[in-house]
Amino acid sequence: MQHETPLLSAGALIRQAGRACFHRLVSTTPALVQVRSGTKVVIIRDTPLRFTAGDFGLLPDHQPMTIENIPNAAQNYEARALPISRHLFEETYARLASVAPPRTPLAMKAVDLPGEAVALFDFWCSPENLATLPSAVATVRLMELITWFALSGAVLGNRGSLLLQDRLRQMIETDPAHGWTLGHAASAFHMSEATLRRKLAAENTSFTETLSDTRMTRALALLQTTMLSIANIAQEVGYDSPSQFAARFKDRFGVNPRDVRGGSAIFERIGTEVAHIGADKISA
């Protein structure tokens, strides 16, 4: 069962007032990123990459990441992220004989990205532009942007076959608030509950763990990229009780949901101001 991300989506503007680090974040969609102020540190497979103000780069899909956002002394941390379907990256690379994706998917930095590419990135980070072009034209322009990043050294690595837990995560992301059960998932993947349970265990996870992690990752994105109340966010990810949601969120990330937006002595007003410009799957 395949759940493909739409090819076209707008970007997200993320601001944080304090330093924060989130572990084992998994995105199901690759994203082009730009740090506008402060520093972003991304660690994948024990390999760190640091982005400072003005840097552009590429974050892979289906790779557990540790992401730390660090504001500078004078300004909040601010970054933009533009999610693009992996299918579009692969189609673009197939047309570029000079570009060979690296074997291991890691965060990559774009070096000396030309002004034309920066302007194109700016265009896609303005949500009103998404509706101004026919789909076919928009797809070509996104492929042009992917090409500029690739020529500047930011190439999406080979993903390989998805794990069962990755496919399960994609399914849950279509509607995190749905009352997903092991039976629903087993039916969707055309296998028995016992088989699904056994195969997930072989990947060192479980249905319940994957469900909870997908919901909490989505909740973190909503905390960072919207001004929805915590009660509303809890409902968006399938929790009728805000207190139960907050407890589960703290178990996952080590902080309360309110700590992400501010008011905590731990993080000194993390994420007090967040601007949302359209992306559903961007976090941190």
Domains of the chain with bracketed CATH: 12-151 (2.60.120.810), 164-255 (1.10.10.60)
pLDDT band with cut points at 50, 70 and 90 for residue 15:
confident
pLDDT band at 276 (very low <50, low <70, confident <90, very high): very low
Question: According to the model, what pLDDT value does residue 9 have?
Answer: 63
Is the pTM above the cut of 0.95?
A: no
For the sheet containing 39-44, what is the strand order? 20-25, 65-70, 39-44, 47-52
d(CA 284, CA 266) in angstroms, rounded, equals 17
Listed range (28-32, 86-90, 214-218, 254-258) with the worst mean pLDDT: 254-258
Residue 129 DSSP one-character state: G
Q: Is the confidence at residue 283, as pLDDT, over 60?
A: no
Residue 69 contacts residue 20 (beta carbons within 8 Å): yes
Q: Which amino acid is at 217?
A: T
User: Distance (Å, rounded) from C-alpha 284 to C-alpha 277?
Assistant: 15
Are 119 and 148 within 8 A, CB to CB? Answer: no
113-120 average pLDDT score: 96
Residues 6+ apart with CB under 8 A from 104: 45, 157, 158
User: Over the stretch 146-179, which tens digit does the pLDDT of each residue have?
Assistant: 999 999 999 999 988 899 999 999 999 999 999 9
Mean pLDDT computed over every residue of the chain: 86
What's the CA gap between 189 and 175, in Å, rounded? 17
Average pLDDT over residues 264-270: 35
- What pLDDT does 30 receive? 96
How far, in whole angstroms, is CA 34 from its chain's centroid?
14
Phi, psi of 147 (to 5 degrees): -65, -45
Q: How far apart are CA 58 and CA 78, in angstroms?
A: 16
Lowest mean pLDDT among 106-120, 130-144, 166-180, 228-242: 130-144
Over residues 224-240, the mean pLDDT reads: 91
Mean pLDDT of 109-126: 94
- HEC string of 196-265? HHHHHHHCCCCHHHHHHHHHHHHHHHHHHHCCCCHHHHHHHCCCCCHHHHHHHHHHHHCCCHHHHHCCCC
As beta bridge partners, residue 12 has: 81
Give the tens place of pLDDT for each residue, 133-147. 888 888 999 999 999
Closest alpha carbon to 96 in 136, 141, 60, 150: 150
Higher pLDDT, 142 or 261: 142
